[in-house]
Amino acid sequence: MRCPYCSSNETKVIDTRTDAQGNVRRRRECEVCERRFSTLERAILTSPLVIKRDGRREEFDAQKLISGLRIACARRPISAEDLDRIVERVEYAIRQTGRTEVPSHVIGDIVIDELRQLDEVAYIRYAIVYLGLSDLESVRNEIERLRANRR
């Protein structure tokens, strides 16, 4: 590791710790100028491409997903931690497939299942867009299906 002060490559590790996100933090000391600095190491994970309905491919974007979840969950008693957990589960599930490309409906199916368990109103809001519920009758049918499954 190059010293940020004198650019020497002669550094030594003094302390190593792991933070809550799994990143490795190392405290180092330069053997030339004797100044100390910290480095942060984390794994570089490649995100699979998402195959959209129209055939386009784009990189998986967790921020885009959380933005959609926030809209569906607006004014609902759902914490930011709950939304983060959904995103983490989605990321984990698509990485577990081992594929470099994942159809968008796989992501949508995971999200819709998570929201169904978390909050029925947020689920309906998301389902209107994701399932393409285009009229009141289809929304009503989905609500009735949801109510029937609750019994």
Question: What is the token pair recorded at 131?
Answer: 């399932």
Asked if 91 and 128 sit in the same domain, the reply is yes
Cα separation of 112 and 69, whole Å? 10
Cα separation of 110 and 92, whole Å? 11
- Chain centroid to Cα 92, Å, comes to 8
Asked if 117 and 143 sit in the same domain, the reply is yes
Cα separation of 2 and 82, whole Å? 40
What's the total number of domains in the chain? Answer: 2
Asked if 61 and 31 sit in the same domain, the reply is no
Cα separation of 70 and 75, whole Å? 9
Q: What is the pLDDT of residue 46?
A: 73
Q: What is the pLDDT of residue 54?
A: 94
Q: What is the pLDDT of residue 119?
A: 94
Its domain, for residue 84, covers 49-150
Q: What is the pLDDT along the chain (151 residues), one digit of tens a residue?
A: 899 999 999 999 999 998 766 789 999 999 999 999 999 887 766 778 999 999 999 999 999 999 999 999 999 999 999 999 999 899 888 888 888 999 999 999 999 999 999 999 999 999 999 888 889 999 999 999 888 887 6
C-alpha dist (Å) from residue 41 to 27, 30, 91, 142: 11, 18, 20, 46
Instruction: Report whether 123 contacts 111 (CB < 8 A).
Output: no
Helix (H, G, I), strand (E, B) or coil at 14: strand
Residue 114 lies in a domain: yes
Helix (H, G, I), strand (E, B) or coil at 123: helix
